[in-house]
Structure formats: C-alpha cells, structure tokens
C-alpha cells in the first residue's frame, strides 16, 4: 500500500534541503572541491533542482521500502525519472559526488552473484557520500548457519539506514523488510522482482525515444520470461508508462503470463503474450532480449540451447522485422550467441551499455529519495519514525 507523506521529499523540495545542508556546512564541500565558500562551489556540490513538472508537482516519495513496482504510482515513477535526470547532471561533473547521504549508512547484502547491480549500488551510494558496507553471503556468517532474519538484525545493529538485498528466494526482501528498522531496496529476489532494473530500463528507453514517452510504443521482451524477475518488474513499469508490451518466448517459458495478462486487462494494464517471434517483433520500437537462466531451469523446458538460439535468438534477420531504429536492450549478463547474436549486442542502436551507466544514476535517485523518508527523524534509533516495520508505509 502506498500512502502520502507530508514531510517526505517532493520534487520541488529535494534540492532545497541539500542546498540548505551544504550552506549550513553539514556537507563540508571543501573535501569535494577547492573553493568551498563561493556561491559557485555551493551550487557545484549540490544535486541540481528537480523541475516542478506538472506530473511531479506536489508528489513526494512515500515508500519506506522499494520491493517491487506494483505499489509505485506513475507520478512516483516520474519523480524517480526526474530525480535521475538530476543525478545524471551530477555524474557529468568533473567530480561526480554530492554530500546528500553524508552520515547515512548503506549496507549491500547479496546472496546471489552480481556484477552490475551490486557495483552500481555501491558506486551510487558512494557518489552520494554514504558510508557503504558490502556483505557477500558466501563470505559472511550465513555460511555458519545464520538466518536471514539474524543477518538483517545484525546489519541494523551495525548502523545501517538502508539495506540493499539480493536473494535467490522470491519474497526474501519482504521478510527482511519486516525485521529491518530502515528502508529495504530489492536488488532482485528469485524469479519475482527487480524493480531498480525495470526503472533503469524505463529511463534508458525514455532517454532514446522521441518525446521521452513510451505511450503506444511497442516494447518486446524476448526470451526466458518465466525465470525473469526483470520481466516481471518491467510489466509493472511499462504498462504504467502506457507501452504496448509484448512478451515472447517458447511457450514452456511463458507459463502463467497469459493468466496475468487477462487479469491485467480488467484493470487496464494490458500486454500480449506470444510464442510467434515474427509477430512480436513486427514494427517494434524496443526489443529487450533476456538471458536463458539455466541455473533456474528445470529439465525439459527447452530441447537445447542450440535449438533455442535457432528459434528465438535475437539476430539481425529477426530484428529486421522491427522498426529500422528499434532499440536493442538486454539486462545482462548476456549469453552471446544464445539469446542475442554478438553483432546485434554491439549494433549502433544497442543501448545495453547505456542501461549499465543509467543504473548508477537511477540507483542514486532511489537511495536519495528513500533516505529522504528519514527527514525529521532523530539521528539514530529512528525506526519508530519510519512507520511500522515490515510495511511499505512511511510514518504518518
């Protein structure tokens, strides 16, 4: 459930609070740039103003946790997009660092392998001057039998304000949220959700599409949809954006999505599910290939990777059905030659590396917005001011 929070950050207030912090000396900008006392310096270390666009006027970030996008409204997604624009400006500076999260502690707790998501969360938190702790389950007390709940309580006792968690079990971040006094960001749970990936995908598409709008644009997600948390979170983001969303893959890897599409149709969130690649790709504006997730695959779902590549791999010949300038995307990691041909992955219109770099800016925006929920809370032991544990509600 999402609720409005009167004192959360709003589009217009975001920059003012940081400017005020910096002006009051809280940020000590002198460590970032030379002449900290000047007006130019003060502006240079702050996050640029997020426009008061009609879509985000008066919109605050009400969510204590970011577990999936099903509870995030379109105006809130717009707020994330505009805050990301501001973070892109920060990243374009010679020293891409602001003091926004100085004194805040971000713990990154990953129970599954990751390169992009883990590193970009770390870079994002460091760019905002947070104190960052990384915990890889494989080298932690988890190997001695410590439970998820105990680990989360330990992380909190060690001072974490925000917890970024990836877990192989769907729902694990929801359990973590019930036992953690701060905010939890889901960095990917099982097959279930990967909300920050969907937001960076949306940002990347908008940045490249005329009018920065997905409304009516045909977006195809092609591949192992069944095991993809990226596809599931993208369903929420892309249908909210008004895209004409198609999910395509072998029927064994689409199980359950027809029922979801039908249920969504009644709530105005429609998408198409098909195994016909030519039909799916025809006149597409965006094609996102998904990895065949062999580590999550039961036997019998695919005859062989070779056959999969032959029938569903994204090749130049298949892409010729799409619009001539259709964007090519992939959340990574890629199995080149399986779900995507190497020459397609590196085409001019491939935005796969943009996805990676936009991931830092989107995650900066999210950490920034989520840290803002603590505005007004006591410096420590502030969990009571954050709303009931385990809910997505912010304090009243």
Closest residue to ligand MLT: CB criterion: 291
Q: Using CB atoms within 10 A of its CB, is residue 299 exposed (0-12), middle (13-18) or buried (19+)?
A: exposed
Angle among Cα 103, 46, 12 to the nearest 5 degrees reads 100
Q: Which two tokens stand for residue 65?
A: 């946790």
CA dist 231 and 194 (Å) reads: 8
CB 225 within 8 A of CB 253: yes
- Report the residue number, 293 or 350, with the smaller CB distance to ligand MLT: 293
- Report the residue number, 45 or 230, with the smaller CB distance to ligand MLT: 230
CA dist 187 and 1 (Å) reads: 20
Q: How far is the CB of 335 from ligand MLT (least distance, A)?
A: 9
- Report the residue number, 60 or 188, with the smaller CB distance to ligand MLT: 188
Q: How far is the CB of 188 from ligand MLT (least distance, A)?
A: 4
Q: How far is the CB of 329 from ligand MLT (least distance, A)?
A: 12
- Report the residue number, 241 or 292, with the smaller CB distance to ligand MLT: 292
- Report the residue number, 293 or 357, with the smaller CB distance to ligand MLT: 293
Q: Count Cα atoms within 13 angstroms, Cβ side, for 299.
A: 0
Q: How far is the CB of 113 from ligand MLT (least distance, A)?
A: 9
CA-nearest of 248, 221, 252, 254 to 235 is 221
CA dist 225 and 158 (Å) reads: 38
Which residues form the interface with ligand MLT (CB under 6 A)?
Answer: 188, 194, 197, 229-230, 291, 293, 331-332
- Report the residue number, 59 or 221, with the smaller CB distance to ligand MLT: 221
Q: How far is the CB of 291 from ligand MLT (least distance, A)?
A: 3
CA dist 52 and 78 (Å) reads: 11
Q: How far is the CB of 311 from ligand MLT (least distance, A)?
A: 19
């Amino acid at each position: 459930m999402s609720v409005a929070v009167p004192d959360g950050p709003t589009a217009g207030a975001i920059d003012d609070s940081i400017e005020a912090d910096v002006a009051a000396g809280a940020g000590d900008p002198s460590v970032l740039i030379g002449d900290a006392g000047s007006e130019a310096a003060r502006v240079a270390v702050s996050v640029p103003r997020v426009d008061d666009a009609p879509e985000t006027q008066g919109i605050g970030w009400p969510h204590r946790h970011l577990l999936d996008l099903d509870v995030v409204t379109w105006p809130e997604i717009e707020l994330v997009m505009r805050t990301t624009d501001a973070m892109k400006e920060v990243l374009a500076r010679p020293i891409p660092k602001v003091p926004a999260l100085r004194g805040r502690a971000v713990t990154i707790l990953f129970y599954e392998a990751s390169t992009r998501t883990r590193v970009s969360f770390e870079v994002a938190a460091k760019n905002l001057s947070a104190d960052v702790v990384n915990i890889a389950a494989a080298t932690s007390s988890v190997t001695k039998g410590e439970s998820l709940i105990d680990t989360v309580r330990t992380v909190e006792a060690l001072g974490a304000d925000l917890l970024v968690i990836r877990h192989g079990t769907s729902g694990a971040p929801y359990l973590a949220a019930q036992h953690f006094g701060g905010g939890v960001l889901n960095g990917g749970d099982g097959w279930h959700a990967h909300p920050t990936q969907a937001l960076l995908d949306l940002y990347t598409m908008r940045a490249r599409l005329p009018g920065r709008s997905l409304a009516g644009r045909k977006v195809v997600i092609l591949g192992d949809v069944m095991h993809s948390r990226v596809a599931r979170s993208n369903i929420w983001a892309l249908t909210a954006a008004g895209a004409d969303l198609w999910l395509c893959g072998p029927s064994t890897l689409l199980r359950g999505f027809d029922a979801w599409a039908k249920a969504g149709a009644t709530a105005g969130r429609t998408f198409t599910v098909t195994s016909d690649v030519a039909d799916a790709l025809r006149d597409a504006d965006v094609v996102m290939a998904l990895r065949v997730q062999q580590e999550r695959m039961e036997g019998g779902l695919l005859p062989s990777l070779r056959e999969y590549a032959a029938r569903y791999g994204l090749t130049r010949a298949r892409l010729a059905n799409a619009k001539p300038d259709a964007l090519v995307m992939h959340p990574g990691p890629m199995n080149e030659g399986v779900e995507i041909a190497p020459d397609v992955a590196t085409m001019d219109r491939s935005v796969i590396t943009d996805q990676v770099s936009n991931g830092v800016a989107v995650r900066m925006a999210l950490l920034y917005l989520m840290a803002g929920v603590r505005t007004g809370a006591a410096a420590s032991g502030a969990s009571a001011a954050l709303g009931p544990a385990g809910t997505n509600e912010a304090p009243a």
